[in-house]
């Protein structure tokens, strides 16, 4: 079974490299879902996935067991996304309102996709604080356990639990608000 | 009714994060607290909706830029991520070696073309169908059977159709269900049809005193939500009855 193959010293084995290449291709769409749920911009999501896979290649010698590949990739993607936000100085130098506003701002592509399906859910997700959006996407889109999310986000498991619980409650409120008023909402403050 | 269940317990319950005893405590509480039960249903619906979200317009790997171990010599048409206009200076050497449409084409030609996994991913997106039933209404059960037959009749013989049922939909798989014979006929006729019953729904039905004798052809080793998500992640077409 491919997933149980140990990939230590991967660079020395062409066949194993090919298997990892194929696995990365297989993971692409799933990673894109996560990236899109985090940033809500299709082009940015594609870049994020690409950057993640590149970094994963660089660090492939660190992969001890492909069973943990999903968590490994999610961790890289999260760190990459945080780097992006820091790099743009929208993480360190602005307040949370501005981060939320930036990442929930609609572009024409996002608008079109949102109209097709789940418009309300997407708008509400986009307006959540990032740490809640991140935790919900990891548990609901990727099926990670709370412990895995705690490891990926380097956060205590109690905090993960709280983010998921508060995030979903907030998501429901925001969805109801959007359904009622038909417009996006000002992000709620904690 | 008095109980010690908090909202965060419900979230952990739907995420399968509670121990058996804790889950039993939640189940006992929702049995007597209608508001709590409604809340749980609301959260379950949200979780299901989330699990199915963000599946539209996912770019296929074949149309994207995939890095790989080989073909590092391809340097043409560098791609610059949106956030790294200036950061690219530091990272450009490695990025330039690996990213680019030229690299992608070469990668696709050399690696993915003969990769069974890649064939599976691409093929699945267009040829495989997941039919999801969560109701025991006879008209919905019949509609499900018709839908499956029309998919299997009209399409490529290589098509795969998986019927996944959860909640009350598992009743269709009961040997005593009047529609199960028709379902068995389809299973006999089409080897590419597979039936899955939600493990949790079967356990719940048993716990509630209405055990279901499932047809032997039905797989029942995992929760429906896991099976649905697995397929959506692989690009299957989703049909909700």
Chain B residues touching A17 at Cβ < 8 A: 68-70
On the question of pLDDT at B144 being above 50, the answer is yes
Alpha helix positions (H), A65-156? 69-87, 96-104, 108-116, 119-126, 130-136, 146-153
* pTM score: 0.52
Q: Is B68 exposed, middle or buried (0-12, 13-18, 19+ CB in 10 A)?
A: buried
Instruction: Identify whether the C-beta of residue A10 lies closer than 8 Å to the C-beta of residue A61.
Output: yes
Residues 44-63 in A contacting B (C-alpha not used; CB under 8 Å): 44, 46-51, 53-54, 57-58, 60
Mean predicted confidence (pLDDT) in A158-162? 94
Question: pLDDT band for position A77 (50/70/90)?
Answer: very high
Among left, alpha and beta (phi > 0; psi -120 to 50; other), residue B131 is beta
A90 vs B49, higher pLDDT:
B49
pLDDT digits (tens, 9 = 90+) for B92-105: 333 333 333 333 33
Chain B residues touching A174 at Cβ < 8 A: none
| pLDDT score of A82 | 86
Mean predicted confidence (pLDDT) in A54-78? 84
Instruction: Identify whether the C-beta of residue A190 lies closer than 8 Å to the C-beta of residue A135.
Output: no
CATH code linked to domain B124-240: 3.40.1260.10
Beta-strand relationship, B237-240 and B193-197: unpaired
| pLDDT score of A88 | 61
Rounded Cα–Cα distance for residues B52 and A83 (Å)? 28
Round the average pLDDT of chain B to a whole number and report it.
Answer: 73
**What are the tokens at A47?**
């870049």
Question: Chain B: residue nearest A11 by CA?
Answer: B69
| B43, B58, B82 member nearest A33 (Cβ) | B58
Does this complex have an ipTM over 0.85?
Answer: no
| B67, B112, B226 member nearest A54 (Cβ) | B67
Question: pLDDT band for position A26 (50/70/90)?
Answer: confident
Domain boundaries of chain A, sorted by first residue: 11-181
Q: How many CB pairs under 8 A join A and B?
A: 148
B8-12, B74-78, B84-88: the lowest-pLDDT one: B74-78
Question: Chain B: residue nearest A84 by CA?
Answer: B83
Chain B residues touching A40 at Cβ < 8 A: none
Residues 65-124 in A contacting B (C-alpha not used; CB under 8 Å): 84, 87-88, 113, 116-118, 121-122
Residues 119-158 in B contacting A (C-alpha not used; CB under 8 Å): 120-121
Contact B81/A164, CB-based, under 8 Å? no
Question: pLDDT band for position A54 (50/70/90)?
Answer: confident
B5 vs A159, higher pLDDT:
A159
**Residue with token string 């994060």:** B17
Mean predicted confidence (pLDDT) in A118-138? 90
Question: pLDDT band for position A118 (50/70/90)?
Answer: low
Mean predicted confidence (pLDDT) in A128-138? 94
| pLDDT score of B64 | 47
Domain boundaries of chain B, sorted by first residue: 7-45, 61-114, 124-240
| B83, B99, B233 member nearest A84 (Cβ) | B83
Question: Chain B: residue nearest A41 by CA?
Answer: B82
Round the average pLDDT of chain A to a whole number and report it.
Answer: 76
Rounded Cα–Cα distance for residues A150 and A144 (Å)? 10
Give A11-181's CATH code, choosing from 3.40.50.1370, 1.10.10.10, 1.10.3720.10, 3.30.1120.130: 1.10.10.10
Residues 140-179 in A contacting B (C-alpha not used; CB under 8 Å): 140-141, 143, 145-146, 161-162, 164-165, 168-169, 171-172
On the question of pLDDT at A145 being above 90, the answer is yes
| pLDDT score of B157 | 74
Alpha carbon A42 to its chain centroid, in Å, reads 13
Question: Chain A: residue nearest B96 by CA?
Answer: A54
pLDDT digits (tens, 9 = 90+) for B30-50: 989 999 999 999 999 899 889
Mean predicted confidence (pLDDT) in B196-222? 85
On the question of pLDDT at B24 being above 80, the answer is yes
A41-55, A131-145, B32-46: the lowest-pLDDT one: A41-55
């Amino acid at each position: 079974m491919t997933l149980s193959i140990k990939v230590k010293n991967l660079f020395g084995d062409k066949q194993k490299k090919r298997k990892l290449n194929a696995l990365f291709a297989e993971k692409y769409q799933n990673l894109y879902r996560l990236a899109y749920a985090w940033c809500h911009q299709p082009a940015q999501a594609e870049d994020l996935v690409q950057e993640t896979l590149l970094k994963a290649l660089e660090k492939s010698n660190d992969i001890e067991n492909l069973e943990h590949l999903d968590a490994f990739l999610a961790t890289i993607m999260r760190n990459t996304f945080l780097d992006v936000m820091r790099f743009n100085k929208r993480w360190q130098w602005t307040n949370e309102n501005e981060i939320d506003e930036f990442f929930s701002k609609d572009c024409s592509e996002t608008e079109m996709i949102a109209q097709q399906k789940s418009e309300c859910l997407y708008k509400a997700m986009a307006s959540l604080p990032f740490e809640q959006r991140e935790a919900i996407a990891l548990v609901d889109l990727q099926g990670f356990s709370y412990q895995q999310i705690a490891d990926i986000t380097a956060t205590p498991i109690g905090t993960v639990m709280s983010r998921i619980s508060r995030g979903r409650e907030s998501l429901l409120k925001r969805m109801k608000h959007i359904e009622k008023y038909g417009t996006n909402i000002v992000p709620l403050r904690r | 009714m008095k109980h010690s269940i908090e909202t965060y317990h419900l979230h952990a319950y739907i995420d399968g994060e509670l121990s058996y005893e804790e889950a039993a405590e939640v189940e006992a509480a929702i049995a007597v607290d209608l508001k709590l039960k409604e809340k749980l249903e609301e959260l379950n619906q949200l979780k299901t909706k989330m699990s199915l979200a963000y599946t539209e317009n996912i770019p296929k790997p074949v149309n994207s830029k995939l890095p790989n171990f080989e073909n590092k010599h391809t340097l043409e048409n560098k791609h610059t991520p949106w956030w790294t206009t200036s950061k690219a200076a530091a990272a450009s050497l490695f990025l330039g070696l690996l990213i680019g449409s030229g690299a992608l084409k070469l990668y696709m030609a050399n690696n993915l073309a003969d990769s069974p996994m890649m064939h599976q991913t691409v093929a699945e997106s267009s040829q495989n169908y997941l039919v999801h039933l969560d109701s025991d209404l006879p008209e919905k059960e019949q509609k499900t059977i018709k839908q499956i037959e029309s998919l299997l009749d009209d399409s490529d013989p290589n098509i795969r159709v998986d019927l996944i049922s959860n909640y009350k939909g598992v009743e269709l798989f009961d040997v005593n269900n009047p529609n199960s014979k028709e379902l068995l006929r389809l299973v006999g006729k089409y080897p590419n049809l597979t039936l899955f019953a939600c493990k949790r729904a079967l356990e719940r039905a048993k716990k509630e005193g209405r055990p279901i004798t499932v047809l032997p052809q039905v797989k029942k080793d995992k929760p429906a939500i896991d099976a649905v998500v697995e397929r959506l992640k692989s690009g299957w077409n989703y049909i909700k009855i």
